[in-house]
């Protein structure tokens, strides 16, 4: 109390040259790389009339834009408003939550367009982008927003930009291994987005462990109105999650089915979250932390299987379980991780993304392994798992095995990548605040 | 003042076992019933390729998903953010407003999928669900959100779950009578959602009358920021109402027309609301209660007729009238209902849903009765009112009569159902708070 | 300090008769004019089945509703939530920001449907409206919302309704000159919406110059939570801007391309805004004013060219520049305009709309002038610039010249119109507050 308030400012948090330098350097790099590589896909190019003739399309409505643009906008809202506002629960870190999320996501989507483009949309030396690329870029950045949740309030914007650069890169590599090498299905990203993003972030925060963080403990809580701002984030994530899980599924029944499964899982998840939030508290009162977060676990956990024939009641079961797992995690696991394993997880992403992501990977593997031609129909079966070309002879149980392998690969990539990035961020040159100034907007913002 | 603050807690509001029990029991019931009954509709099922061939569809874009999914998401936002935040105006009940609305709606949509499914989507022993079912489930739950508005701040979450269970059940019965037996049109739900929901809620709050409620009067107001949170709810309801009224209309012109009519009605309603809000106040200042609520009455009141040939100027007239009726209701009727009829209507749903809902039913009956083949075209006329099969010979004036009958049936169902549910909720075992603790989040929430 | 707080109330701000009178008069006028003129377009009319046959359409999905409705809803959110909440940053003017924006926009869209209808959708004595008209009406009103930003907190609601009436009228005239007489492309409205709206508003605020405004200087700042409310507005504008710029482009590739270009420009703009916000501050801290506003300049500045073959890297360059220009404007230009030119620009629309709008017009002119058949394809070239009929022989460089002329016309219309409207608003009969009561909700609202 006697100490000057910003004594920790001895740690140099002065951003005036470092932050502009990084922002400008990277944006110039983006312009150069976009100039060399990025062009419009045929459906967004002015040559579309010729394309239409070639592909025998009779109407503009066949343009992929009309299949995916509404879902894209919903996903866009989830990344910027959903994640941004979900993290405003801290009483004095609302600017950092919304503002830094905005910054890292705006940078990340550009880099993701390039990274994912090189792997998936590269033709004759150019990356050809359309609405599906925009969705995938948002997805990729989603994993960085998740990791941000673990280190919220403890890092400088420069560190966040570094984290995003590396994480997007590794995301694209991991995604390539899963989707192209292992031929795994993961349209809603239980493995590629949530499992990878969360364990990456948890590894980073472990390495950045701050032994004296209790010095800013009073700021690590919420106030009444900050909890309401956070509920804006929660609800937009919850409502639009059916769009998230269906956004890049195949046209037609797969998109339709993914939305329904996700809707069901999320509905069930709310009920068990409320039940356990009340049950695990001595006074039986509800805790906003659980309502804000654990209600979303059901969306994470059907990320792989939503486009499969999981069925509505299967989705309810997954949501039921995840509401419980996630709420129990907030009550018992988060304190344990902090005190014993030195994992300081500001937003509890372990409960919202890591565990439900793992469950989602497993549910996906089981659902794939259990697939039959009877349930999917002959054509539907081949279409759902893309059992064509080199994969013509793959059986459901083998697919299930590869799905499981995808979980393991995602975990390994997360641990290795998180360790590397954590080590880089630990260098004392990036301008993070001292422990007693964490969770405090006025370190980096004019307040 | 001398009394201990929570003396009323003598009324046992301890939720630790009751709330979890109800949540878990009902969710388990949902899983079992979904397991027995619910499957995907052909458009969401993996057999879609075969379906497409059978129905001679040449493109995936013909899947109902692409006709209705954007509207579904708008309706979804209205239910969870719209209703949830509209009710956050109370200074110390924001958690309850958003959180309990979230809980009851998440449960309600599951039960609605079943109830409405048995009536409308039951084939060979299974309920086949697609995106239209999701919209209808949201609609059904909307009526429970409306009723919640009347009792906001005065009931426990257990009571709200009970209310939702019964109300969704009766909603489905009432809807079946109107749509299938009376062959009535009500795509935006002036009768089925608003009239039914509002009079149901008003009956419940009448039965739960609390003579000592003035003990918590100081908490029944708003503060500056809580009014801004409420405006988020207002605006999302207002902006997306065109989607609400057009979401389940026939493909093509009907959806298009319903959106335009609703847009017009709502625009006019804002002007008369502002006019009367200022005029009825001695100081001529605007009252946020009116702006938050009465501006929406225009959407309610074209719920039945929006898909008909109401025409844009007809819509302006309806909106014009409803802004006035609703604002006058807030100023004069709400106090009268409370003091004389003992109807304590926290959000003023009588002004926002009940009266405009009745007007909407009447406007629908008149518009139907006035329909001519000249205005609709020969095919359009038959399509608009579904005058096929057993209804081939029904005339517009007869249709108008049946529409009017629909209003009466909805009212009777609301009064009877509300009385029944009110009586059940009055039992002293559900954990509602004492009068002096109403409108106070810390009864059920960790604050 | 000694003075009674509302001494300035000597200026009569009593709205009880003036505001209701204006609202009711104008709404009645709307009803009469809609009754005489407005009907449904063929795609929203019940005769659609016949239309479909005539136009050889095989599916309802060909109805323009399905091409544009999702974009319409996004634009609608931008106008009402985007602009409304963006302006809630003032500590005591949240009601006025959201509420008056709501009022003027709800009136403006009706008048815009008429004005734009007479110019563009008038057939056999009737204005035929469909979803594209709704979007255009929202666009038109957007220019009034922009002008409102300059005079925020300093005008009465009656003045705002007058401003909207005149501005919508002049907007429609200007738009007619540009689109029909000059045959200029401006789908996202860099010229018609932003340049025109901003310079119109700046001229008005110049004429309404208040020499004693520093008396309310303490209220002209933000508080912590008001800045978070403003970020809701910012993010919705930012996220949905791709819909704004693509909403009325040609079906197919043009809509698709416009969305991608806008997405890219906005992403780049965030990086340079952050860079310069930090760099121009001695302490290197970020300023919420910049993050809330300058991040959006990239959307404004590709308003004309987004549907052209600007290419993703071209968009990045535009966004890069605009983030810098806009942020520098907030730091240096706004104080200069106020102190030297007596332009009191509450929201800094000069930095967010005026300068980026001009840049947008210029970028559009250059992009058009640089167009080649090689880049667009033979058909794409004609389609993109509508080089048919009387314009069959127009060359890209001539088109570029006309685009540039469009900027000049928009500026002249803005200055002339703004001067006229400013002079009218200056009459001492409209009930604006005294300088010391500016930026204070309780002048016009029950607080």
From B158's Cα to the closest Cα of chain C, the distance in A is 33
Interchain CB distance below 8 Å, C19 and B274: yes
Report the pLDDT value the prediction gives residue C217, as an integer from 0 to 100: 87
Interchain CB distance below 8 Å, A312 and B44: no
∠ Cα A76 A77 A79 (to 5°): 65
Q: Chain B contacts of C50, Cβ < 8 Å?
A: 377, 379-380
Interface test with A, best of B65, B97, B430, B444 (most A CBs within 10 A): B65
Q: Give the span between the Cα atoms of A180 and A122, in whole angstroms.
A: 14
- On the question of pLDDT at C374 being above 70, the answer is yes
The gap between the terminal CA atoms of chain B, to the nearest Å, is: 22
Interchain CB distance below 8 Å, C288 and A99: yes
Contact call for residues B215 and B345 (beta carbons, < 8 A):
no
Contact call for residues A328 and A356 (beta carbons, < 8 A):
no
Q: What is the mean pLDDT of residues C334-356?
A: 97
Q: Give the span between the Cα atoms of C410 and C356, in whole angstroms.
A: 14
Report the pLDDT value the prediction gives residue A348, as an integer from 0 to 100: 97
Half-sphere CA count of A102, side-chain side, radius 13 A: 32
Report the pLDDT value the prediction gives residue A354, as an integer from 0 to 100: 98
Q: Chain A contacts of B131, Cβ < 8 Å?
A: 256, 259-260
**Burial call B364-392: b when 16+ CB within 10 Å, e when fewer:** bbbbbbebeeebbbebbbbbbbebeeeee
- Would the ipTM clear 0.85, i.e. be above it? yes
Maximum separation of any 2 CA atoms in chain C, in Å: 77
Helix (H, G, I), strand (E, B) or coil at C127: strand
Interface test with B, best of A94, A234, A252 (most B CBs within 10 A): A252
Paired sense of beta strands C126-129 and C38-40, if any = parallel
- On the question of pLDDT at A274 being above 70, the answer is yes
Q: What is the DSSP string of C334-396?
A: HHHHHHHH----TT-HIIIIIHHHHHHHHHHHHHHHT--HHHH-HHHHHHHHT--GGGTT--H
From A429's Cα to the closest Cα of chain B, the distance in A is 39
∠ Cα A71 A72 A74 (to 5°): 65
Helix (H, G, I), strand (E, B) or coil at C445: strand
Determine phi and psi for A317, rounding to 5 degrees: -65, -45
Residues in chain A: 447
Q: Give the span between the Cα atoms of A344 and A337, in whole angstroms.
A: 7
Neighbours of chain C (3+ CB pairs under 8 A): A, B
The dihedral through the CA atoms of C371, C377, C380, C382 has a sign that is positive
Q: Give the span between the Cα atoms of A425 and C423, in whole angstroms.
A: 59
Q: Give the span between the Cα atoms of B111 and B106, in whole angstroms.
A: 9
From C18's Cα to the closest Cα of chain A, the distance in A is 36
What does the domain layout of chain B look like in residue ranges? 70-426
Which residues pair with residue B129 across a beta bridge?
Answer: B40
- On the question of pLDDT at C294 being above 60, the answer is yes
* Mean predicted lDDT score pLDDT of chain B: 95
Paired sense of beta strands A38-40 and A126-129, if any = parallel
Report the pLDDT value the prediction gives residue B10, as an integer from 0 to 100: 57
Residue with tokens 């004069």: B332
Q: Give the span between the Cα atoms of A194 and A197, in whole angstroms.
A: 5
From B402's Cα to the closest Cα of chain A, the distance in A is 35
Report the pLDDT value the prediction gives residue C154, as an integer from 0 to 100: 96
Give which of B401, B299, B437, B411 is closest to B358, Cα–Cα: B411
Q: Chain A contacts of C235, Cβ < 8 Å?
A: 80-81, 84, 98, 102
Q: Chain A contacts of B433, Cβ < 8 Å?
A: none
Report the pLDDT value the prediction gives residue A147, as an integer from 0 to 100: 98
This prediction has a pTM of 0.97
Q: Give the span between the Cα atoms of A214 and A202, in whole angstroms.
A: 19
What are the tokens at B316? Answer: 């302006």
From C270's Cα to the closest Cα of chain A, the distance in A is 6
Q: Give the span between the Cα atoms of B118 and B142, in whole angstroms.
A: 19
Report the pLDDT value the prediction gives residue A11, as an integer from 0 to 100: 78
Q: Give the span between the Cα atoms of B306 and B256, in whole angstroms.
A: 10
Q: What is the DSSP string of C10-30?
A: GS----TTHHHHHHHHHHHHH
Helix (H, G, I), strand (E, B) or coil at A303: coil
The ranges of chain B with pLDDT < 50 are 1-9
Q: Give the span between the Cα atoms of A136 and A175, in whole angstroms.
A: 11
Contact call for residues C173 and C192 (beta carbons, < 8 A):
no
Give which of C395, C402, C405 is closest to C370, Cα–Cα: C395
Interface test with B, best of C27, C57, C66, C74 (most B CBs within 10 A): C27
Per-residue pLDDT reduced to its tens digit, A95-138: 999 999 999 999 999 999 999 999 999 999 999 999 999 999 99
Report the pLDDT value the prediction gives residue C11, as an integer from 0 to 100: 78
Q: Given A113, A131, A229, which is nearest C256 (Cβ)?
A: A131
∠ Cα C431 C432 C433 (to 5°): 115
- With a pLDDT cut of 70, the percent of chain A lying above it is 98
Interchain CB distance below 8 Å, A23 and C271: yes
Contact call for residues C69 and B235 (beta carbons, < 8 A):
no
Helix (H, G, I), strand (E, B) or coil at A363: helix
Q: Given A239, A255, A272, which is nearest B80 (Cβ)?
A: A239
Q: Given C19, C34, C102, which is nearest B278 (Cβ)?
A: C19
Q: Give the span between the Cα atoms of C268 and C282, in whole angstroms.
A: 24
Interface test with C, best of A12, A32, A46 (most C CBs within 10 A): A46
What are the tokens at A328? Answer: 């129990």
Interchain CB distance below 8 Å, A48 and C281: no
- On the question of pLDDT at C431 being above 50, the answer is yes
Per-residue pLDDT reduced to its tens digit, C383-402: 999 999 999 999 999 999 99
∠ Cα B135 B136 B141 (to 5°): 100
Q: Chain A contacts of C331, Cβ < 8 Å?
A: none
Q: Given B31, B65, B102, which is nearest A320 (Cβ)?
A: B31
- On the question of pLDDT at A375 being above 50, the answer is yes
Neighbours of chain B (3+ CB pairs under 8 A): A, C
Interchain CB distance below 8 Å, A31 and C317: yes
pLDDT band at C6 (very low <50, low <70, confident <90, very high): very low
Interchain CB distance below 8 Å, B47 and A279: no
Report the pLDDT value the prediction gives residue B6, as an integer from 0 to 100: 45
Per-residue pLDDT reduced to its tens digit, C218-276: 899 999 999 999 999 999 999 999 999 999 999 999 999 999 999 999 999 999 999 99
Interchain CB distance below 8 Å, C40 and B274: no
- With a pLDDT cut of 90, the percent of chain A lying above it is 94
Q: What is the mean pLDDT of residues C372-383?
A: 95
Per-residue pLDDT reduced to its tens digit, A333-371: 999 999 999 999 999 999 999 999 999 999 999 999 999
Determine phi and psi for C403, rounding to 5 degrees: -60, -45
pLDDT band at C10 (very low <50, low <70, confident <90, very high): low
Interchain CB distance below 8 Å, A34 and C312: yes
The CATH code of the domain at C70-426 is 1.10.3430.10
From C257's Cα to the closest Cα of chain A, the distance in A is 5
Q: By CB neighbour count within 10 A (0-12 exposed, 13-18 middle, 19+ buried), where does A253 fall?
A: buried
Q: Given C14, C38, C65, which is nearest B312 (Cβ)?
A: C38
Determine phi and psi for B433, rounding to 5 degrees: -85, 160
């Amino acid at each position: 109390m006697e100490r000057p308030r910003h004594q920790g400012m001895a740690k140099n948090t002065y951003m005036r040259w470092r932050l502009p330098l990084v922002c400008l350097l990277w944006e110039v790099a983006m312009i150069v790389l976009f100039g060399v590589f990025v062009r419009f896909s045929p459906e967004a190019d002015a040559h579309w009339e010729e394309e239409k003739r070639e592909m025998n399309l009779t109407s503009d409505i066949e343009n992929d834009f009309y299949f995916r643009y509404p879902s894209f906008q919903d996903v866009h809202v989830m990344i910027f408003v959903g994640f941004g506002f979900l993290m405003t629960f801290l009483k004095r870190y609302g600017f950092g939550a919304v503002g830094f999320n905005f910054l890292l996501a705006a940078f990340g989507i550009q880099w993701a367009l390039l990274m994912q483009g090189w792997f998936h949309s590269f033709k004759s030396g150019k990356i050809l982008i359309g609405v599906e690329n925009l969705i995938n870029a948002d997805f990729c950045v989603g994993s960085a927003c998740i990791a941000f949740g673990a280190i919220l309030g403890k890092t400088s914007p420069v560190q966040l930009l570094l984290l995003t650069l590396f994480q997007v890169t590794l995301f694209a590599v991991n995604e390539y291994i899963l989707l192209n090498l292992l031929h795994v299905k993961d349209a809603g990203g239980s493995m590629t987005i949530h499992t990878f993003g969360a364990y990456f972030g948890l590894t980073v925060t472990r390495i950045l462990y701050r032994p004296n963080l209790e010095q800013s403990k009073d700021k690590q809580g919420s106030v009444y109105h900050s909890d309401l701002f956070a509920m804006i984030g929660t609800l937009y994530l919850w409502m639009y999650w059916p769009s998230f899980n269906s956004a890049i599924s195949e046209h037609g029944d797969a998109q339709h089915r993914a939305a329904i499964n996700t809707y069901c899982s999320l509905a069930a998840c709310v009920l068990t979250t409320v039940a356990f939030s009340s049950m695990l508290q001595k006074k039986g009162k509800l805790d906003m932390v659980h309502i804000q977060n654990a209600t979303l676990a059901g969306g994470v956990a059907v990320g792989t299987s939503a486009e499969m024939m999981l069925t509505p009641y299967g989705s309810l079961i997954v949501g039921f379980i995840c509401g419980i797992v996630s709420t129990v995690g907030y009550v018992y696991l988060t304190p344990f991780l902090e005190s014993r394993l030195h994992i300081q997880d500001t937003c509890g992403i372990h409960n919202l993304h890591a565990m439900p992501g793992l469950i989602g990977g497993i549910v996906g593997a089981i659902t794939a392994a259990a697939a039959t031609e009877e349930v999917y129909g002959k054509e539907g079966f081949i279409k759902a798992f893309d059992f064509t070309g080199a994969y013509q002879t793959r059986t459901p149980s083998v697919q299930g095995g590869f799905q499981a392998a995808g979980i393991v690969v995602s975990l390994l990539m997360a641990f290795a990548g998180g360790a590397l990035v954590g080590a880089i961020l630990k260098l004392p040159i990036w301008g993070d605040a001292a422990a007693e100034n964490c969770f405090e907007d006025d370190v980096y913002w004019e307040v």
